Chains A and B, each alone.
Chain A
């Protein structure tokens, strides 16, 4: 049994689902964001805002907004609650715990979520099939975040850097269901999967 443990290998959330390839002129391009450290942050005391300011020199916006500080992306997901992501291997949850101390409850979620980057000329037409909110730039700005559902699957949705590009996070156990929705819905636009 001890030998079996030695053979355990980390698998990304969409491992075996996403197969790189697809037409060059595809309307939808999908990439899995594999290299992320993820944590949830919940404010526990009125000293939270001050602790954030001391550690990162910013005031967190309240509401469903995205802010990037020290390479950490913070998404407002609810009253007093944030979803934090950072690319790379460096553990994020322990860093946040250290800088926020007793003022926040931090939980490592790096293995708990799958994150996809969905882009392409037809990305809004695709998401309109599953997401019940308006994603036109007039209604959903560059730093806006939405916690909502897509085809009955709970998701977090925000714009990545480019205009027609979104990042979508969901519970890891729902990645298979989400992929079956996305791959079928994207068929009419053409779908290309790219490696990160």
Chain B
């Protein structure tokens, strides 16, 4: 399997580390009234989709960025990948 890193280009799977569901990059607000229930869901409950899935991969063997990779869990086809963090400073040189 090869992953198209937005910075480095297409790279071999061995340069990356898998973390899991990319929607978990957003942590629930601990101050919200239903924080306990939302954290229970955040920590323990996972969807198991058959098809497209956004997931976090770390490019430790390359540009050391976290990527959000869209992968088809049925076929392992990678539909695309983007940098997970997009703050203003990322475009510092553009």
Residues on A facing B (Cβ under 8 Å):
43-46, 48-49, 52, 59-64, 77-81, 132-133, 146-149, 154
> Is A64 a contact partner of B7 (Cβ separation < 8 A)?
yes
> Is B61 a contact partner of A148 (Cβ separation < 8 A)?
yes
A49: B residues at CB distance < 8 A: 92-94
Task: State whether A45 and B92 are in contact (beta carbons under 8 Å apart), knowing that A63-B7, A132-B12, A132-B15 are contacts in the complex.
Answer: yes
Q: Known A-B contacts: A62-B94, A146-B8. Give 20 more (CB < 8 A).
A: A45-B89, A45-B92, A46-B88, A49-B93, A49-B94, A62-B93, A64-B63, A78-B64, A78-B65, A79-B63, A79-B90, A80-B90, A81-B64, A132-B15, A133-B9, A133-B11, A146-B62, A147-B64, A148-B62, A149-B15
A sample of 15 inter-chain contacts (CB < 8 A) reads A43-B92, A43-B93, A46-B91, A48-B92, A48-B93, A49-B92, A59-B93, A62-B93, A62-B94, A64-B63, A78-B7, A78-B63, A79-B65, A133-B11, A147-B62
The CA-CA distance from A75 to B83 in the complex, in Å, is 20
Any chain A CB within 8 A of the CB of B14?
Answer: yes
Top 6 nearest A-B pairs (CB, nearest first) are A78-B63, A43-B92, A132-B12, A48-B92, A149-B61, A62-B93
Indicate the member of B88, B91, B92 with the most A CB atoms within 10 Å. B92
> Is B89 a contact partner of A44 (Cβ separation < 8 A)?
yes
Contact of A132 among B14, B63, B64, B93 (CB under 8 A): B14
The CA-CA distance from A45 to B7 in the complex, in Å, is 19
The CA-CA distance from A133 to B94 in the complex, in Å, is 26
A149: B residues at CB distance < 8 A: 14-15, 61
> Is A46 a contact partner of B11 (Cβ separation < 8 A)?
no
A62: B residues at CB distance < 8 A: 93-94
A59: B residues at CB distance < 8 A: 93
| Residue in B closest to A103 when the chains form the complex, CB atoms | B92
B88: A residues at CB distance < 8 A: 46
Contact of A43 among B8, B65, B89 (CB under 8 A): B89
Mark each residue of chain B from 10 to 28: 1 if its CB lies under 8 Å from any CB of chain A, else 0: 0110110000000000000
The CA-CA distance from A137 to B12 in the complex, in Å, is 19
A148: B residues at CB distance < 8 A: 8, 11, 15, 61-62
Contact of A46 among B8, B9, B92 (CB under 8 A): B92
The CA-CA distance from A64 to B91 in the complex, in Å, is 15
